[in-house]
Homo-oligomer: A and B are copies of this chain.
Amino acid sequence: MPDLPSFALIPVIDVVGTFVFAISGTLTAADKKLDPFGASVIAFVTALGGGTLRDLLLNLQPIWMQEERFLVTVFVSVLVTLVFRRDIGRFRRTMFLFDTVGIALFTVLGMEKALRLGVPPLIALVMGVVSAVFGGVVRDILCNEIPLIFRREIYATACLAGGVTYLLMRLAPVPAEVPFGVAVGIIILIRVLAVRLKWAFPNLSAGE
């Protein structure tokens, strides 16, 4: 299988994604009135928790254990967020876009990593979604909340839809960039539409 040309961008994607996810973790920690140490931990697990679980399940050592740039990125992100906290509200739309692009890329890259290790397709799909959303789940557990994505948002579902598309298109005789681009596009599109149009699954009720 040919290398995806976009793979040259992975170090950039990784760092930008880590930075943006760490902002979201820091803001959640501030909402909970944690101290700066607590905020750093929450930022760290939000940004790197998903990839860490994926790698432990794949029997790999998490990448941030080998290269310090991830840790440094989280630290810089926490500092910047704490300093500019008052102004960050104005960038919520930009942050939403970064976050959306981040989960889209993390989903597909996480899947590709698992597939290359010989993991069956359905499991690779789960690994992709785990890469993208598990950090937010741990963030919410540490902050003593039921994880947000279990309750309200078309979030993981967007990742699932893009992931399935990727699996199917990967079987077709097209250049590797095509399924990659289409899957990322679908995830971004669904997420943006879901927020715009307030799509949500109905919540379950036991006694219904």
Contacts of A122 in B (CB 8 A): 68, 71-72
- Is the Cβ of B36 less than 8 Å from the Cβ of A204? yes
Assembly stoichiometry (copies): 3
Q: Write the A105-130 contact mask toward B (1 if CB under 8 angstroms, else 0).
A: 00000000000000111110010000
- Closest B residue to A82 by beta carbon equals B204
Interface flags for A68-86 (1: CB within 8 Å of B; 0: not) read 1001100000000010011
- Please, which residues of chain B bring their CB within 8 A of the CB of A147? 38, 142
Q: Which residues of B contact A152 (CB under 8 A)?
A: 35
Q: How far is the CA of A118 from the CA of B144 in the complex (A)?
A: 35
Report, as a range, how many residues of chain A touch the other chain: 35 or more
A interface list, Cβ under 8 A from B: 27, 29-39, 41-42, 52, 56-59, 61-62, 64-68, 71-72, 82, 85-86, 119-123, 126, 137, 141-147, 149-152, 156-157, 200-206, 208
